[in-house]
Structure 1
């Protein structure tokens, strides 16, 4: 995947999150490729080039996650709009939930101080 991005976002991270981010944008309503790319950049994720974005959108179309509609532009050429199908909405819900759980788990793991010793459990009271 070729992207222009702030240096702090490794390309491996972007490859892992791009699918769910694009589905999230499409979950807001039908839109076209350039607008998706601009929104990703606006949100700080990075600028995703067409050579990365359009194959992903084509895969979404092949697998039934999006439907495509050509719309005539008011001042320019027609644009290909992408909209989530019910299967796409279900996939967005699944991936968003899984991503949130994964991000939470990795965040807790990464910020954990490995030099900190686990605290011993308090001694159990003797039972009669």
Structure 2
């Protein structure tokens, strides 16, 4: 199954969930998503999502100097982002339960 379209639908949710635990920089977020099983997630997709969520006020950002390489831009979740995460988590839970029930023949 091609998961590209599924990933697009849940990327905001998963990125918000990753930074809800602790602030993280872009590539760290990509790495955490991949380690969690979203192996097909692309760097460009995550960076685009970070920019969009930041512009929408769901994320904050700050730069941390690095002694071994370029500075890193960290992202953290805002109260608006936490609200979005809560709503989208509830939506995902309902949606995934419905699809599972359909696949198991529990729904007409």
Correspondence list, 1:22-101, <5 A? 22-101=15-94
Counterparts of 1:101-112 in structure 2, within 5 Å, are 101-112=94-105
State whether residues 37 and 47 of structure 1, in contact with CA within 8 Å, keep that contact through their aligned partners in structure 2. Answer: no
Decide which structure has greater helix share.
Answer: 2
**Do the aligned partners of 2:7 and 2:41 also contact (CA within 8 Å) in 1?**
no
Q: Matched residues in 2 for 1:12 and 1:89: separation?
A: 24
In 1, Cα distance between equivalents of 2:65 and 2:40: 25
Gaps of at least 5 residues in structure 1 are: 1-7, 119-128
Q: Which residues of structure 2 form unaligned runs of 5+? A: none
The whole-number CA distance in structure 2 between the counterparts of 1:97 and 1:70 is 32
Paired residues in the alignment total 108
CA contact 1:40–1:47 (8 Å) conserved in 2: no
Offset from partner CA, 1:75-112 (integer Å, 9 cap, x none):
22210000001100111011011101110111111121
1:74, distance to aligned residue in structure 2 (A): 3.8
User: Deviation of residue 113 (structure 1)?
Assistant: 7.3
TM-score for the superposition, normalised by structure 1: 0.77
What is the CA-CA distance between 1:15 and the residue it aligns to? 1.1
Larger radius of gyration: 1
TM-score (norm: length of structure 2):
0.90
Give runs of ≥4 in structure 1 deviating > 2 Å. Answer: 47-50
